Amino acid sequence: MTTREIFDSMEYGPAPESDAEARDWIATRGPDFGHFIDGGFTDAGQGFAAKNPATGEEIARLTQGSAHDVEVAVAAAAKAFSKWSKLPGHARAKYLYALARLLQKHARLFAVLETLDNGKPIRESRDIDVPLAQRHFYYHAGLAQLMDSEMPGHAPLGVCGQIIPWNFPLLMLAWKIAPALAAGNTVVLKPAEYTSLTALLFADICREAGLPKGVVNIVTGDGATGEALVTHPDVAKIAFTGSTAVGRRIREATAGSGKSLTLELGGKSPYIVFDDADIDSAIEGLVDAIWFNQGQVCCAGSRLLVQESIAEDFHARLKARMDKLRVGDPLDKCIDVGALVDPVQHQTITRMVEANTEGEVYRAQVPMPEQGCFYPPTLITGLSPAAPLMQDEIFGPVLVSTTFRTPSEAVELANNTRYGLAATLWSENLNLALDIAPKLAAGVVWVNATNLFDAAAPFGGVRESGFGREGGWEGLSAYLKPKAKLTPRKPVAPVPAPDTVEAPGLDRTAKMYVGGKQARPDSGYSRPVWSKRGQLLGHAGLGNRKDIRNAVEAARGAAGWSRTTGHLRAQILYYIAENLSARADEFAARLRALTTTSAARAEAEVEASIARLFTYAAWADKFDGGVKSVPIRGVAMAMREPVGIIGALAPEEAPLLGAVSLIAPAIAMGNRVVLVPSAPYPLAATDLYQVLDTSDVPGGVVNIVTGDPADLAPALAGHLEVDALWNFSASDQAMIDAASAGNLKRVWAPEGNPDWLGGDGEGRAFLEAATEVKTIWVPYGE
Ligand code: NAI
């Protein structure tokens, strides 16, 4: 195009970015790359090609990491851990700061290499990916600096295995490596097979920064390499970002291993436009929501929900805007939409869209490149909520749309998904927006903006979008564990029946406690509970899967509890404490009879239970969220929300205090609980029914199902409406982890149990497990 023609047409002329420096780096360091292990690059081995998706050209060759490579890398990371973890925070901060500075120094090289390898527009890699990655290292240099004073009593986990996707190769690396290193862990990172080059360039700057050998290791390869990392016994934590299917497999593969796990998975995030929205801004927002990075964004606003009264006009304006998008050479600075990462993704998207039989498909009327992996910006309107394209993640530049009439219908449609990563809403009425935001099942909500990210703002999902947060203090804590004194859990057998029973005693069968009422066990069976002195103390119902289902149903019915105020919950917890206190002697006597403990110990357990209820009554309105210092004109509010329905397996020991230690933090934070009490000593918990009844605890908030945990734990862990499972019993952890993969519920099972009478039996760790952070971004001003 000549300058004259450009003047005539007022079209953008081409503005290509030079790739010479990036190609030079590839030629010098490669073009055949090995892994980065123990501070050096290994020789290149058998592997696969790295391609430029915009042209199909092979630009480098990568090594397929074997189980042996993973072994060597994990060993290097384990060796480095002993020194790195003991460095003062300030020493680690200096390294993280150096990495941030070097990312800044080589910013252009990183941006061009990213675009060459991934196909994303240079404008995005230059202005978004690379600056956000730098910011992440700066921010975490600060966390490392402050950690010793701000998070005392915490320890790093060890070697972290980190597996990242191809959509934000450098940025996801930064999200993973910066907090892990700040917290004192060492890392083996596996980049995605389509996009490993910026990770290898990052390895280069680790050397330049003088990072101690083995602190960061990078092993390239495909899913098989990832699997070797996931199953390596010396890896203490797996942090994964990628598809929900692989996340689920990782949950299963790590079952029972004791590894920490955070999963950041897929989404089908709603983009809600109310009729009073600033329409032009909402349309511009959609360009960022679904055509940013060709829609290959886990939190892409891929499901447009637009208020019916403005839908026609909105779609018309949207189509006009789509026709102005420029699709083409990603290295051209004027390009809006680049290439998809690989022909495989192209085929997947094409197949999904072709399989759709509903609605109306509109493709942007724009010139498309003749070759390369490009897909036109697409809008599909008129889909029913259950249509596969409304439910399944397309992970491409395809927006699906439907309409709603009322705000409550918008919430219902928005939440009609198995995912819960992000949501966007547009309305000039902040009152409405701030009413809707807390009602959305999402870890991140953007009000009148979209796809805002920052190192200070926690990011992550609920439901099948995974668990754990990245960013902020919250993200750092996912790489730390409390330094608590724990004792391994072990089963305690019930007291056997005596040989001869002298006085049969009264037949008192404790029932289940479901929905605020006592309920007979579905099985109709119960078991006698004996004291060690041969006295029959009562019978405890033998619950089964059906009882668990009823209890979860009741908990679901008590959803209103999650909307109550902290103040109200505090009052009720104080009331429980007061009523327990009134019957303290009775409970102490019961504990003595059940466990043949000393009178002093039984009294201490009751007193500690009362104190614990006070503790969580106190916390109910004080476990605050925060307003994060993000670099926008506006606020990012990190709100703590209840997790939902928590299944809790109480410890065998301390049968009253153990149960109270789980119930109290859970309900203080607004959760509903299904508790399986101590298997050998269930009657300490069943005695609580009357205390709960007289303390104004609404029916369904606390449900108690007695029985054999071997029967009840799988039912609870496998139940799709239970959001989290806490295990402090000796139940089979591997089974619990594997069963929980179904709906990717949050499993909390520390390495052992605390001394329940001591300080480790309560506190922040319990409150954190009982809550999930939702980050609500509200920019302000014009
Ligand atoms: P993927 O989930 O298979 O790959 C992500 C990472 O996991 C890669 O590094 C891969 O090598 C690794 N991996 C694959 N199988 C593994 C295993 N069994 N154990 C350990 N690591 C394993 O994603 P993929 O195949 O690249 O894309 C498929 C679909 O996943 C996309 O179409 C999209 O829907 C979704 N996706 C979602 C992402 C998100 O951020 N939510 C990111 C990437 C993909």
246 C-beta closer than 6 A to ligand 1: yes
Q: What is the pLDDT of residues 366-407, one digit of tens each?
A: 999 999 999 999 999 999 999 999 999 999 999 999 999 999
Confidence band of 503 (pLDDT split at 50, 70, 90)? low
d(CA 144, CA 88): 9
Confidence band of 504 (pLDDT split at 50, 70, 90)? low
pLDDT at position 158 over 80? yes
64 C-beta closer than 6 A to ligand 1: no
Measure 253 CA to ligand 1 centroid, in angstroms.
15
Q: What is the pLDDT of residues 579-589, one digit of tens each?
A: 999 999 999 99
Measure 374 CA to ligand 1 centroid, in angstroms.
20
d(CA 287, CA 629): 26
Residue 454 pLDDT:
98
Measure 509 CA to ligand 1 centroid, in angstroms.
52
Instruction: Retrieve residue 696's tokens.
Output: 């104004």
Q: What is the pLDDT of residues 458-487, one digit of tens each?
A: 999 999 999 999 999 999 999 999 999 999
> How many angstroms from the chain centroid is the CA of residue 61?
33
Confidence band of 7 (pLDDT split at 50, 70, 90)? confident
d(CA 426, CA 430): 9
**What ipTM is given for this predicted complex?**
0.96
Counting atoms of ligand 1 from 1, which one is nearest the CA of 245? 2
298 C-beta closer than 6 A to ligand 1: yes
Quick one: what percent of the chain has pLDDT higher than 70? 99
513 C-beta closer than 6 A to ligand 1: no
Whether the CB-CB separation of 637 and 458 falls below 8 Å is answered with: no
pLDDT at position 149 over 80? yes
- Could you say which of 193, 264, 652, 653 is catalytic? 264
> Average pLDDT, stretch 30-58?
98
> Average pLDDT, stretch 280-295?
98
192 C-beta closer than 6 A to ligand 1: yes
Counting atoms of ligand 1 from 1, which one is nearest the CA of 230? 20
Counting atoms of ligand 1 from 1, which one is nearest the CA of 191? 9
Residue 14 pLDDT:
84
Q: What is the pLDDT of residues 163-182, one digit of tens each?
A: 999 999 999 999 999 999 99
> Average pLDDT, stretch 445-449?
98
Would you call 574 helix, strand, or coil by DSSP?
Answer: helix
Confidence band of 781 (pLDDT split at 50, 70, 90)? confident
Counting atoms of ligand 1 from 1, which one is nearest the CA of 265? 41
300 C-beta closer than 6 A to ligand 1: no
In a mutational test of the pocket of ligand 1, which residue from 64, 120, 163 has the highest number of ligand atoms less than 8 Å from its CB? 163
d(CA 737, CA 718): 9
Among protein residues, the one whose CA lies closest to atom 30 of ligand 1:
243
Counting atoms of ligand 1 from 1, which one is nearest the CA of 193? 11
Whether the CB-CB separation of 537 and 530 falls below 8 Å is answered with: yes
Confidence band of 54 (pLDDT split at 50, 70, 90)? very high
Query: Residue type for 382, please?
Result: G
Q: What is the pLDDT of residues 648-684, one digit of tens each?
A: 999 999 999 999 999 999 999 999 999 999 999 999 9
Question: Computed over its alpha carbons, how large is the radius of gyration of the chain?
Answer: 28
Among protein residues, the one whose CA lies closest to atom 14 of ligand 1:
223
650 C-beta closer than 6 A to ligand 1: no
Confidence band of 10 (pLDDT split at 50, 70, 90)? confident
On average, the pLDDT of the chain sits at: 96
pTM of model > 0.80: yes
Which long-range contacts link 443-446 to residues 24+ away (Cβ below 8 Å)? 443/469, 443/772, 443/773, 443/774, 443/775, 444/299, 444/774, 444/775, 444/776, 444/777, 445/774, 445/775, 445/776, 445/777, 446/422, 446/777
Residue 473 pLDDT:
97
Q: What is the pLDDT of residues 753-773, one digit of tens each?
A: 999 999 999 999 999 999 999
Measure 243 CA to ligand 1 centroid, in angstroms.
5
Question: β-pairing, 672-676 with 159-163?
Answer: unpaired
Measure 769 CA to ligand 1 centroid, in angstroms.
27
Per DSSP, 611 falls in state H
Whether the CB-CB separation of 456 and 302 falls below 8 Å is answered with: no
64 contacts: CB under 8 Å, gap ≥ 6:
45, 46, 47, 48, 220, 221, 222, 224, 225
Measure 733 CA to ligand 1 centroid, in angstroms.
26
Number of other CB atoms surrounding residue 475 within 10 Å:
28
Residue 6 pLDDT:
76
Quick one: what percent of the chain has pLDDT higher than 90? 95
pLDDT at position 506 over 70? no
Residue 339 pLDDT:
98
Residue 782 pLDDT:
63
Q: What is the torsion angle, in degrees rounded to the nearest 10, for the CA atoms of residue 489, residue 490, residue 492 and residue 493?
A: 150
- Cα angle for residues 464, 733, 602 (degrees, 5° grid): 115
The helix or strand, by DSSP H or E, that contains position 63, with its residue range, turns out to be strand 57-63
| Catalytic status, residue 264 | yes
230 C-beta closer than 6 A to ligand 1: yes
Q: What is the pLDDT of residues 403-433, one digit of tens each?
A: 999 999 999 999 999 999 999 999 999 999 9
Measure 245 CA to ligand 1 centroid, in angstroms.
8
pLDDT at position 509 over 90? no
Per DSSP, 401 falls in state E
Counting atoms of ligand 1 from 1, which one is nearest the CA of 394? 34
CA count, 13 A, side-chain hemisphere, 741: 20
